[in-house]
């Protein structure tokens, strides 16, 4: 495959964490069922989907989840979650795997703390969820802590999901509604201040969105060292990348989206599978970035050579098309299409190349 023979190794980072699939509990008519999903991360070592420069197989920690599910059947007469009242807009009807995917994407990038929908049955919800999970279409970028699900026992069934967000998610949420965000949480405040400082060093007022995106990509690649081991939860967040200069794939992707968002450039985190030179695949996360109305793939993790080379920033995986990424990545077709390839030259100094 193209680009597989480089002397600097590419790697596949830790698998993006997935929201656990809630287990169906006993249904009791006109009662709400509440699931508290405890995300317990367990590490396992598996063969890395990349080669070290000397050709030896490496190892890479991969996320897996063990669900701790606590179920509580509430004695109550209401049949819908508290978030779904008669005064609100009608709940969205979920009738397919695609409907659920776009509902979840809207909830994530609107940074909602609660989101409710209606579906024929809870079992059908589980079916669609498992289908999305099998396609690698679910990830927990910008999210943290437990995920709770409340659903009723009626037909159709009303389901309410609750989310909590990490510091990057809290900043991106605030950017949607506040011109000058302020934060009470010290970790979020520290990350926001670091982002402002970084952008003030690399962004100028006369830059186009493309130029801003390139220097943001280069900054993250140059100033971050990919970690084979460590605290998987910490390394999968933008805070680790932008405050400590260490990260894994989801951390790189979060950092890219966060800095782009602060410059008003739309992007998203993509989850899927990436393949090494032996065609061995494992879970991976990267970005899609919207420039002048066109989506492009961006993989800052794979543009960061191993071992770390300091001021060198590869751009092999910057602003590429579906066709290029399909050579060594796979992902759900539900994510936006990236029809155009915009290759940019790798350099130890940011250089702008028009498409």
> 205 and 102 in one domain?
no
Q: Which DSSP symbol is given to 285?
A: E
> 324 and 191 in one domain?
yes
pLDDT computed for residue 99 by the predictor:
97
In sequence order, what are the beta bridge partners of 70? 36
- Residues written for the chain: 355
Tokens of residue 212, six digits: 């801003």
Question: What domain range includes position 288?
Answer: 167-331
Domain final position from 162, 192, 214 = 162
Whether the predicted model's global pTM rises above the 0.85 cut = no
**Residue scoring higher pLDDT (298 or 72):** 298
Handedness of CA 206, 212, 215, 219 (dihedral sign): positive
Given a contact cutoff of 8 angstroms between Cβ atoms, the answer to whether 340 and 322 are in contact is no
> 323 and 192 in one domain?
yes
Range in 92-101, 109-118, 178-187, 279-288 the model is least confident about = 178-187
Given a contact cutoff of 8 angstroms between Cβ atoms, the answer to whether 241 and 226 are in contact is no
> 206 and 74 in one domain?
no
In sequence order, what are the beta bridge partners of 287? 269, 298
CA distance 43 to 62: 6
Tokens of residue 252, six digits: 């790189």
Given a contact cutoff of 8 angstroms between Cβ atoms, the answer to whether 126 and 22 are in contact is yes
Q: Looking at the predicted structure, is the pLDDT value of residue 155 above 80?
A: yes
pLDDT digits (tens, 9 = 90+) for 274-323: 998 899 998 899 999 999 999 999 999 999 988 877 788 999 999 999 99
In a domain, 12, yes or no: no
Maximum mean pLDDT: which of 126-140, 144-158, 221-235, 249-263: 249-263
88 falls in which pLDDT band (50, 70, 90)?
low
pLDDT computed for residue 178 by the predictor:
84
Residue 302 class from Cβ within 10 Å (0-12 exposed, 13-18 middle, 19+ buried)? buried
CATH code of the domain in which 299 resides: 3.10.620.30
In a domain, 100, yes or no: yes
pLDDT computed for residue 309 by the predictor:
76
In a domain, 78, yes or no: yes
């Amino acid at each position: 495959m193209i680009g597989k023979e480089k002397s600097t190794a590419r790697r596949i980072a830790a698998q993006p964490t997935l929201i656990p699939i809630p287990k169906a509990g006993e249904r009791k008519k006109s009662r709400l069922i509440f699931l508290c999903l405890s995300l317990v991360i367990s590490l396992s070592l598996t063969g890395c989907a990349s080669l070290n420069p000397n050709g030896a197989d490496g190892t890479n920690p991969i996320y897996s989840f063990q669900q701790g599910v606590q179920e509580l059947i509430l004695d109550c007469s209401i049949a819908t979650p508290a978030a779904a009242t008669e005064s609100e807009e009608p709940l969205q009807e979920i009738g397919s795997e695609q409907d659920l995917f776009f509902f979840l994407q809207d909830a994530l990038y609107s940074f909602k703390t609660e989101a409710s929908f209606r579906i024929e049955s809870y079992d059908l919800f589980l079916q669609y969820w498992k289908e999305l999970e099998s396609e690698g279409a679910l990830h927990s970028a910008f999210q943290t802590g437990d995920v709770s699900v409340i659903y009723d026992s009626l037909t159709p069934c009303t389901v309410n999901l609750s989310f909590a967000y990490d510091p990057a998610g809290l900043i991106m949420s605030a950017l949607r509604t506040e011109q000058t965000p302020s934060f009470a949480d010290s970790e979020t405040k520290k990350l926001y201040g670091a982002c402002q400082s970084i952008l003030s060093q690399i962004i100028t007022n006369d830059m186009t969105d493309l130029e801003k995106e390139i220097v943001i990509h280069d900054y993250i690649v140059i100033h971050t060292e990919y970690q084979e081991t460590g605290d998987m939860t910490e390394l999968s967040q933008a805070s680790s990348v932008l405050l400590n200069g260490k990260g894994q794939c989801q951390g790189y992707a979060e950092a890219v989206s966060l800095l782009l968002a602060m410059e008003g450039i739309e992007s998203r985190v993509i989850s899927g599978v990436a393949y090494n030179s032996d065609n061995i695949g494992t879970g991976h996360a990267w970005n899609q970035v919207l420039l002048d109305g066109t989506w492009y793939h961006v993989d800052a993790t794979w543009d960061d050579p191993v071992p770390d080379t300091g001021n060198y920033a590869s751009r092999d995986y910057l602003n590429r098309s579906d066709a290029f990424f399909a050579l060594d990545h796979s992902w759900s077709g539900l994510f936006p299409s990236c029809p155009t390839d915009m290759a940019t030259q790798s350099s130890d100094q940011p250089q702008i190349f028009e498409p």
